[in-house]
Structure 1
Amino acid sequence: MNWDDLRVFLAVARHGTLAAAARSMGVNHATVSRRLAAFEKGLGRPLFDRDASGLHLTAAGQAVLAQAQAMDEAALAVRRLADAGAETGGAVRLTTARAMANGYLAARLAGLLDRHPGLEVTLLADTRILSLAQREADIAVRLGRPGDTELVGAHLTDIGYGFYAAPAVRAALEAGGALRLIGFDKDGTAAEGAWLAQHFPEATVCFRSNNQLSQRAVAMSGGGVALLPHYLAHGSGLQALPLGATPPPREVWLMTRRDLARLPRFRVVMDYLKALYHADRAIFEGAA
């Protein structure tokens, strides 16, 4: 049995499609398809039913999955034994929301990489929440208190919100001009979008986006007033506007799996992130 074929089977079982499994493994779609076919041929039976929605485990596939997961856990246990005595070098996959990754974290990782030149950090900025339990990532910076008791972590800070606009837009509003809001995609799921729609139902919305960095860019260009987390407005030249209530703060948590928390390379990354967020609490809470 080819271990790589078994890894492909596990990835497809976890993700439900060949394309998603390929992305998670960093290979192309054709490689996943070929290896899965070889694995099924070697076992002499189909492991998945195919339909328009994706791939679904057959009864045989369910039986193989239980054994494959046990083999995968055993392989990971061997790797952890090797890692336990290792230095702080190696690969670490860090995941967070796109705005947090591109508007804050990416610009602040140089100190970590300089201090530990053997690290190879992959920053995964995704619209969906990647699963730590399924090993889609190693460490996560997440918005909101986690409910997964299988993970360990720490509260980093709270994100506050405010209304922000370019100086010219603020001056026009103070002179009696009409309020033009920069809003969220109507079909989106952002909590801030729902809050804005509830509290400003009659406001004129001049621009919509499900990307807060795009909203900030339009606000900076003078397009309107944006509801932004304080850390995205910090240093942008935007000015705060007192338009009344703002959404309640959101907690930011640092999370990882229990088996990783003790390993040197993950521990140094988590310690660095804790110190980073604690030092910038005033930026996140809007006091800076």
Structure 2
Amino acid sequence: MSQRLSNWDDLRVFLAVAETGSLSAAARQLQMSQPTVGRRLRALEQDAGVRLFDRVSNRMELTEAGREVQRVAAPMRGTADAVERRLGGLLAGEQDPVRITSTGSVAFFLTQFLPELMTRTGGIPIALSSTKEPLNLARREADVAIRMRRLPVDGDLVSRKLATLRFSIYGPAQAPSHASIIGLPKTERRPSQSGFLDDWAQGRPVPLRLSDVFLRYHAVRSGHGVSLLPCWLGDADPGLVRLMPPPPELAEDVYCLYHGDNRAFAPVVKVCQALGDVFRVHAGLLAGERGEPRRRKRREGPSSATRRGRPGRALT
């Protein structure tokens, strides 16, 4: 491999293909077109003078030479990303926003308190985006990430717990006792939630499964059944009733993270502090502390003593 490599961006493409195993997935990660990724990869192989990938069963498999390049190039990417982060912090102007990435539900929750957040940040511009796939802080895809459940174990990340998010089962105030169960797909990333709903149904059919929390919310609100919702969302709707206390096993901690290279970058640190303040003030909403289960009045059915039994009995 005596040829000189002319473009670091080609190595970025190489690493993305090596990690994802396909041109299309690498293109999505890099926000490039697939033909551009293929062209960059061919240019790198021409510069290197060796074949770096074999196509095996619709996957891009590293050759022996490719594995050696990956071993050397991966630390180089970390260094280049660190330089970009540092330059970004040094060169950022007053109008450059701090980019926050979160799930759709957390982003929606935050929009209710944007004036408060902006006041606490002192007017630092903010760009809030919601994505299903977490953006990579080390690669400058975002400045601040709000994540739930598990923290990343790799990389130099500064983390702060913001709050605990709790869930419960909600239904329309006038829903019949035999209301349908709106479940979660069994392939959902939150298998505990899907399994909990199925257990709560006690063998009753689950005719509809929706992965998106807002789809479930609107389905419940439209009278299609009962389902699991974040307490802050279900409790805020006067047309819904909570059918059980929030199960402790479904609670999820919410964290704010930023890359360690931004420890000295005041806007990022201040935004994280402001997020912590906003979540602290409204922690009761997220934890479901402002609305105990409201029992529906029924003329017939199980006795009140029975309804105080297992959670699933409320709708049998």
TM-score, length basis structure 1: 0.82
Amino acid at match of 1:60: A
Give the match for residue 160 of structure 2.
154
Give the match for residue 251 of structure 1.
253
String of CA shifts for 1:80-139, please: whole Å, max 9, x gaps.
Answer: 4434444565365533333333x423555565499224x5x252411x445545665443
Distance in structure 2 (CA, Å) of the matches to 1:52 and 1:137: 34
Q: Which has the larger radius of gyration?
A: 2
**Other structure's SS at 1:8 match:** helix
**Other structure's SS at 2:51 match:** coil
Judged with a 3 Å threshold, the aligned counterparts in structure 2 of structure 1 residues 238 and 251 are, in CA distance, closer, same or farther, namely farther
Is the 1:13–1:57 contact (alpha carbons within 8 Å) kept by the matching residues of 2?
Answer: yes
Distance in structure 2 (CA, Å) of the matches to 1:272 and 1:245: 27
Give the match for residue 46 of structure 2.
41
Judged with a 3 Å threshold, the aligned counterparts in structure 2 of structure 1 residues 105 and 15 are, in CA distance, closer, same or farther, namely farther
Aligned mate of 1:280, from 274, 279, 282: 282
Judged with a 3 Å threshold, the aligned counterparts in structure 2 of structure 1 residues 89 and 73 are, in CA distance, closer, same or farther, namely farther
String of CA shifts for 1:214-251, please: whole Å, max 9, x gaps.
Answer: 11001111111122111222433343233467353221
Aligned mate of 2:272, from 267, 270, 273: 270
Task: Kindly indicate which of the two structures has a greater share of residues assigned to strand.
Answer: 1
Unaligned runs of 5+ in 2: 1-5, 291-316
Aligned mate of 2:96, from 90, 93, 102: 90
Aligned mate of 1:19, from 12, 24, 44: 24
Distance in structure 2 (CA, Å) of the matches to 1:235 and 1:243: 16
**Other structure's SS at 1:115 match:** coil
Following superposition, the deviation at residue 280 of structure 1 comes to 1.6
Amino acid at match of 1:212: V
- Structure possessing the higher relative contact order (Cα contacts under 8 Å, 6 or more residues apart): 1
Q: Number of residue pairs matched?
A: 278
Identity, % of aligned positions? 30
Give the match for residue 115 of structure 1.
123
Following superposition, the deviation at residue 156 of structure 1 comes to 0.7
Distance in structure 1 (CA, Å) of the matches to 2:233 and 2:64: 49
Give the match for residue 65 of structure 2.
60
Is the 2:143–2:259 contact (alpha carbons within 8 Å) kept by the matching residues of 1?
Answer: yes
String of CA shifts for 1:62-94, please: whole Å, max 9, x gaps.
Answer: 222233233333333433443444456536553
Aligned mate of 2:56, from 44, 51, 60: 51
Give the match for residue 293 of structure 2.
none
Following superposition, the deviation at residue 4 of structure 1 comes to 2.4
Amino acid at match of 1:193: S
Provide the aligned C-alpha RMSD in A.
2.9
Give the match for residue 198 of structure 2.
197
**Other structure's SS at 1:253 match:** strand
Unaligned runs of 5+ in 1: none
Judged with a 3 Å threshold, the aligned counterparts in structure 2 of structure 1 residues 208 and 44 are, in CA distance, closer, same or farther, namely same
Greater CA drift, 67-76 or 80-89: 80-89
Greater CA drift, 261-270 or 237-246: 237-246
